[in-house]
């Protein structure tokens, strides 16, 4: 398990967050999966892999309604949106980000998704 945690961290820090996420999916449902999720959420956020950070924070939030997970998810979704605008992330990702945001019951979700959808309409992106 320790090896897998370090492998996931190395993958994230070397720009392979998708592979680290796939590593987590193999451990999903085990005792260690929650710790792996926390590592992925925080390391992906730190490394600028915001889409995978958002996925990890969303899963953490479902498992434990800690407000810090919402804050992490919100920040990761906004970071991913910023990357889409800067053309560093695929525009198709916006639909996934909006879906991740809508999985939370928080008054801020409506405002964030409204801004994202308006940008998508103005830039001919389907959200």
Answer yes or no: is pLDDT of 117 > 90: yes
Mean local confidence (pLDDT), 82-94: 94
- For tokens 């405002």, name the residue: 111
What's the confidence (pLDDT) of residue 125? 81
Mean local confidence (pLDDT), 98-117: 93
What φ, ψ does residue 85 adopt, rounded to 5°?
-60, -40
Answer yes or no: is pLDDT of 126 > 90: no
The string of pLDDT tens digits covering residues 6-65 is 999 999 999 999 999 999 999 888 888 999 999 999 999 999 999 999 999 999 999 998
What is the distance between the alpha carbons of residues 110 and 37, in angstroms, rounded to a whole number? 26
Please list, in sequence order, all residues whose beta carbon lies within 8 angstroms of the beta carbon of residue 20, skipping any fewer than 6 positions away: 7, 8, 9, 11, 12, 40, 43, 44, 52
């Amino acid at each position: 398990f320790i090896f897998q945690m370090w492998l996931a961290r190395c993958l994230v820090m070397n720009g392979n967050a998708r592979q680290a996420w796939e590593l987590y999916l193999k451990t999903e449902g085990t005792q260690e999966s929650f710790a792996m999720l926390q590592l992925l959420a925080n390391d992906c956020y730190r490394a600028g892999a915001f889409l995978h950070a958002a996925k990890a924070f969303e899963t953490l939030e479902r498992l434990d309604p800690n407000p810090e997970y919402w804050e992490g998810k919100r920040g990761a979704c906004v970071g991913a949106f910023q990357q889409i605008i800067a053309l560093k992330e695929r525009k198709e990702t916006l639909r996934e980000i909006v879906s991740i945001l809508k999985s939370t019951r928080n008054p801020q979700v409506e405002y964030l998704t409204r801004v994202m959808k308006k940008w998508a309409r103005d830039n001919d992106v389907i959200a």
